[in-house]
């Protein structure tokens, strides 16, 4: 890969994926929504949910996160294929946490992505979540106590 533009595009797309993970972990729904194109789609087929457009995506993520007592997401780099101002990619993910109803959840999954170059930089045009392994075994750990400010 000697094309500097292709290298820069790959770095920017990987940074976009990292930014999204950080926005999810920090529950920054407004920032998260800006990482999608205005007409983007976020699909969670395993629970029959689809959100189209930034407003629906923001609300959908906020709804999903409202179900969790705590949540940890680790995303691992995957493939990126660039074709001009569009690209596709896939990354693997490990998530775990405890729901507010007391049940636990751990999974390994894939994100199947489509990206689009915009004036603001690369953005998600579509993100589809595919669960490959699910473990509802109760998590043995606890969240740390809150530290005084």
Integer Cα distance of 40 and 32 in angstroms? 12
| Residues in a beta bridge with 52 | 41
Q: How confident is the model at residue 149, as a pLDDT?
A: 72
Domain presence at residue 142 = no
Token pair recorded at residue 90: 């896939």
What pTM, to 2 d.p., does this model score?
Answer: 0.91
Is the pLDDT confidence value at 1 over 60?
Answer: no
Domain presence at residue 116 = yes
Mean pLDDT value across the chain = 94
Could you tell me the strand order of the sheet in which 104-118 lies?
Answer: 49-52, 36-44, 121-135, 104-118, 86-99, 68-83
Domain presence at residue 33 = yes
Confidence label for 134 from pLDDT (cuts 50, 70 and 90): very high
Domain presence at residue 148 = no
CA 45 to chain centre: 14
Domain presence at residue 140 = no
Question: CA dist 131 to 9, 26, 81, Å?
Answer: 27, 22, 22
Q: Per residue in 11-70, pLDDT tens?
A: 999 999 999 999 999 999 999 999 999 999 999 999 999 999 999 999 999 999 999 998
Q: How confident is the model at residue 56, as a pLDDT?
A: 98
Secondary structure (3-state) at 17: helix
Q: Per residue in 62-118, pLDDT tens?
A: 999 999 998 999 999 899 999 999 999 999 999 999 999 999 999 999 999 999 999
Integer Cα distance of 70 and 52 in angstroms? 26
Q: Domain containing 125 — which CATH number?
A: 3.10.450.50
Q: How confident is the model at residue 2, as a pLDDT?
A: 62
Confidence label for 141 from pLDDT (cuts 50, 70 and 90): confident
Instruction: Show Cβ contacts of residue 15 under 8 Å, excluding neighbours closer than 6 positions.
Output: none
Residues of the domain holding 29: 4-135
Domain presence at residue 120 = yes
- Domains in the chain: how many in total? 1
């Amino acid at each position: 890969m000697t094309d500097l533009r292709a290298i820069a595009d790959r770095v920017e797309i990987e940074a976009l994926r990292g930014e999204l993970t950080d926005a999810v972990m920090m529950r920054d729904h407004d920032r998260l929504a800006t990482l999608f194109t205005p007409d983007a789609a976020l699909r969670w087929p395993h629970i029959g949910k689809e959100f189209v457009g930034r407003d629906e995506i923001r609300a959908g993520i906020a709804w999903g996160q409202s179900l969790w007592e705590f949540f940890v997401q680790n995303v691992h780099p995957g493939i990126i294929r660039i074709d001009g101002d569009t690209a596709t990619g896939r990354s693997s993910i490990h998530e775990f946490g405890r729901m507010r109803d007391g049940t636990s959840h751990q999974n390994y999954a894939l994100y199947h992505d489509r990206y689009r170059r915009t004036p603001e930089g690369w953005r998600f045009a579509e993100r589809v979540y595919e669960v490959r392994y699910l473990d509802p075994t109760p998590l043995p750990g606890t969240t740390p106590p809150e530290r005084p400010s």
